[in-house]
Structure 1
Amino acid sequence: METIIIQSQSKSTSKLLIELAKKLGEKVQVLDKEVSEDLLLGKMMTQSKTGKIVSKESILAELKK
C-alpha cells in the first residue's frame, strides 16, 4: 500500500483529483488542516531526531531565551 498526499490551492483541482482517484477504485480521505499540520509536525520531528540525551534544565534554558 502506498499513500499519497497532495496539497491543492484550488477546490476545483482537489475535486477533480478526488473524482479521478475514486473512478480508479482507490480510497480517498480528505484531511482537515489540523490533521495535515500534525502529520507535517511529526515528519519534521522525526527528521530532526539526533539521538542525544538532553537535560531538562538545558531545555528550559532554551525556552526562556
Structure 2
Amino acid sequence: MSSIVVNPQSEEEFQFISELLKKLGVDSMVLSDEDAEDLGLSILMKDVDRSDFASEDEVMAKLKG
C-alpha cells in the first residue's frame, strides 16, 4: 500500500489531522523533522549513481572548500 505524507502548516492543523485520522481508524505515525530529513536522505542515497567514483583527494577538496 502507498503512503501519504502531510505537512501541517500550524499546530492547530496538526491536531485536527491527528484527531481525524484517529477517528477514522487510520494508522498514522508522527515523524520529527530529523526523521523526515533522514528519510529524504535515504531516498537520495538509493537513487545515486554508484558507477561513478571519486578519489579521496576529490572528496577532501570538496570538504575543505
TM-score by length of 2: 0.73
- 2:12 partner letter: S
- Partner AA of 1:18 in structure 2: S
Tell me the C-alpha RMSD between the 2 structures: 1.8
Q: How many residue pairs end up in the alignment?
A: 64
Deviations 1:5-61 (A, max 9, x none): 1111211111111222223221011111221221123334445x2331111111111
Gaps of 5+ in 1: none
TM-score (norm 1): 0.73
Identity of aligned residues (%): 34
Unaligned runs of 5+ in 2: none
Say which SS state the counterpart of residue 31 (structure 1) adopts: coil
